[in-house]
Structure 1
Amino acid sequence: MTAATEVFTGERPRLFGLAYRMLGSAHDAEDVVQDAWLRWAGHGETVDNPAAWLTTVVTRLCLNRLDSARARRETYVGPWLPEPILTTDPSVALEERESVSLALLTTLERLTPPERAVYVLREAFGHSHAEVAAVLDVTEAGSRQLHTRARKHLAAVPTVTATPADVGPLLRRFVAAARDGDLAGLEELLAADVTVWSDGGGKVKAARRPIHGREAVARFLVGILGPDRWHGTGAAAEVNGAPAVLAFLDGRLNGVLAVEGDEEVRTVRILRNPEKLTFLAAQLSRSAGLSGRGS
């Protein structure tokens, strides 16, 4: 392994984390990191500050993709949700396990590409405005202005203060009530303004619009998870830093269900688009392989 290859290998988890936060897609993040590697392969030996150089390359590649992604999402069938990742995977950087949530990635969609870049670089990776300005080729004042606008856009979004330890028991009670067809018990766990977001991307059956309100959400969930409705199996996992339920049908990953809330469930996210499950399914396969070798 050359020195340049070793440097890039060391930077890869951080670069993936940056690209994933920017794009909300693990598949696209991998593509960006691969593109960055191809550029690094031709310049790596002559770069004085590899971390800064690679951060700039990855950020700018992501900005290019975000411009086209916005157009694609305007025609996306149903609600768009971020692509989930298994955050207990050893290949995922520690900071991602602690802070990359589906809620955050979803709300980042409200930002323009430059606002998102500044927010991610500042909030997730702690870069100074001088460093951000160099990456984006703007002034420090411009970086500060973009950061201020990003924070204002996100200020109106409710924050979730519950820890994974809080959410885990709530999720288990939630799933049990839905599986048992216990409408009354399920409604007791739901906030009055609860919302379900279901992402099938037009490829599998899913709600085409968000479902709001305790009664409507309870009926919907019992309708898809209740007795005689779901014939697959489920397993608990840590997805995007929080407890989630993985649904399997005929041994294949069929969906991810995650909830947000503290004492009550306020948001339910169901990811069923097969294209968005391939990365997580590959992580699960690698994890199973590692467990098998270690036994």
Structure 2
Amino acid sequence: MEKHYNKLLTYAYNIVGSYEDAKDLVQDVLEKYITMDKSSIRHESNFLIKSTINHAINFKTRQSKKEVFGEWLPEPVSFDNADAKLIRDETASYTMLVLFEYLNPKERAAFILKEGFNYSHAEIAELLDINTENSRQLLSRANKQLKDSKYSSYSPHLGHSFETVGRYQKALAQADIVELQNLLVDDIKLSADGGTKVQVLSGSEIGKTATATLLVYVQQHFLMGKTFTFQFFNHQPAACFWEHEKLHNCHILQLSEDGLIQEIYSIVDPDKLKNITKLSHI
């Protein structure tokens, strides 16, 4: 079963957006598979993938209305953590996981299978128990929802990321609202997720002045004295704020090609941060 685990976990995580929940879902699938009659199963891998995807879809459907402080954001994953079991190249970027929240679970699964894993519509139809025309319709609806995104494919150069995040952290520490505004696009959007335990702003903050002002307020009231590190989560740069060895808050950034910050995802939910460790080389 171990040979299947990482791939199944990657499928589940891309669909549900939670590493902890993905692990539980895959564990459920594998435990049931071990005890079942396998005489009619022709292809073990396909069976496990189908079971995992459908289990993840059902879970996501049940969890879609979960109440949190702020805006629900995916659980970030660091590929540098020793216990990370996701397949790096097959794991969606953080921004894509956020955009997936605009899709229903089946649209999300169809898009991931087609665009992320290069499945044919016939293969998607078999996995989702639908016909090929339904698969095409799901993909078409997903693409229509995502096509207007300005964040689709750009991955910033490592040096670009270090420079921007360094300037961002320095501007925060110095409460320099003007410099922060210089780093943000005009329609910058800041979203925060406090989970069920930490109260944060409701909805999202949009616009350079409002976002820069809010960031400085948060820095002065909640992040002052915290240790800072630069890390990557889900292929994207992040500013991390630590209280001793415990991650208190991380700002995952979506950067434009010219190094400006297009979107800030602020995760404060302790349940989503508890498995992230500080890298020794930073």
State whether TM-score is above 0.5.
Answer: yes
Map Cα deviations across residues 62-114 of structure 1 (whole Å, 9 max, x no partner): 11101111132xx3332111111112245331314xx5222100110111111
**Structure richer in helix, relative to its length:** 1
Give 2:169's match in structure 1, choosing from 175, 179, 196.
175
Q: Distance in 1 between matches of 2:269 and 2:261?
A: 23
Q: Share of identical aligned residues, percent?
A: 26
User: Which residue does 2:79 correspond to in 1?
Assistant: 87
Q: Distance in 2 between matches of 1:259 and 1:94?
A: 18
Q: Distance in 2 between matches of 1:107 and 1:243?
A: 17
- Judging changes above 3 Å, is the alpha-carbon distance between structure 1 residues 138 and 235 closer, same or farther for their aligned structure 2 residues? same
Deviation at 1:169, TM superposition (A): 1.6
User: Which residue does 2:266 correspond to in 1?
Assistant: 270
Q: Distance in 1 between matches of 2:223 and 2:118?
A: 47
TM-score computed with the length of structure 2 as normaliser:
0.90
Deviation at 1:179, TM superposition (A): 1.0
Number of residue pairs the alignment of both structures matches: 274
User: Which residue does 1:132 correspond to in 2?
Assistant: 124
Q: Distance in 2 between matches of 1:18 and 1:174?
A: 33
Do 1:180 and 1:227's aligned partners in 2 also have CA atoms closer than 8 Å? no
Deviation at 1:201, TM superposition (A): 2.2
The alignment partner of 1:87 has SS state of: coil
User: What residue ranges of structure 1 are gaps of 5+ in the alignment?
Assistant: 1-7
Q: Distance in 2 between matches of 1:94 and 1:193?
A: 30
Please say if 1:146 is aligned against 2:142.
no
Q: Which amino acid aligns with 1:265?
A: I
Q: Which amino acid aligns with 2:146?
A: L
Matched ranges for 1:44-193 at <5 A? 46=39, 47-72=41-66, 75-89=67-81, 91-96=85-90, 100-160=92-152, 161-165=154-158, 166-193=160-187
Give 2:9's match in structure 1, choosing from 16, 37, 49.
16
Q: Distance in 1 between matches of 2:211 and 2:262?
A: 11
Map Cα deviations across residues 99-143 of structure 1 (whole Å, 9 max, x no partner): 522210011011111111111111111111111111111111111
Q: Which amino acid aligns with 1:83?
A: E
User: Which residue does 2:242 correspond to in 1?
Assistant: 248
Range 258-267 or range 11-20, more displaced: 258-267
Deviation at 1:227, TM superposition (A): 9.1
User: Which residue does 1:36 correspond to in 2?
Assistant: 29
Q: Distance in 1 between matches of 2:223 and 2:269?
A: 19
Q: Distance in 2 between matches of 1:228 and 1:108?
A: 30
Deviation at 1:43, TM superposition (A): 4.0
Do 2:106 and 2:138's aligned partners in 1 also have CA atoms closer than 8 Å? yes
- After superposition, the CA RMSD in angstroms is 2.1
Do 1:247 and 1:253's aligned partners in 2 also have CA atoms closer than 8 Å? yes
Q: Distance in 1 between matches of 2:121 and 2:54?
A: 16
Range 187-196 or range 39-48, more displaced: 39-48
- Judging changes above 3 Å, is the alpha-carbon distance between structure 1 residues 44 and 234 closer, same or farther for their aligned structure 2 residues? farther
Q: Distance in 1 between matches of 2:56 and 2:135?
A: 17
Q: Distance in 1 between matches of 2:37 and 2:3?
A: 13
Q: Distance in 1 between matches of 2:111 and 2:205?
A: 30
Give 1:225's match in structure 2, choosing from 219, 226, 232.
219
Deviation at 1:35, TM superposition (A): 0.6
Q: Distance in 1 between matches of 2:47 and 2:21?
A: 20
Do 1:32 and 1:62's aligned partners in 2 also have CA atoms closer than 8 Å? yes
Deviation at 1:48, TM superposition (A): 2.9
Deviation at 1:51, TM superposition (A): 1.6
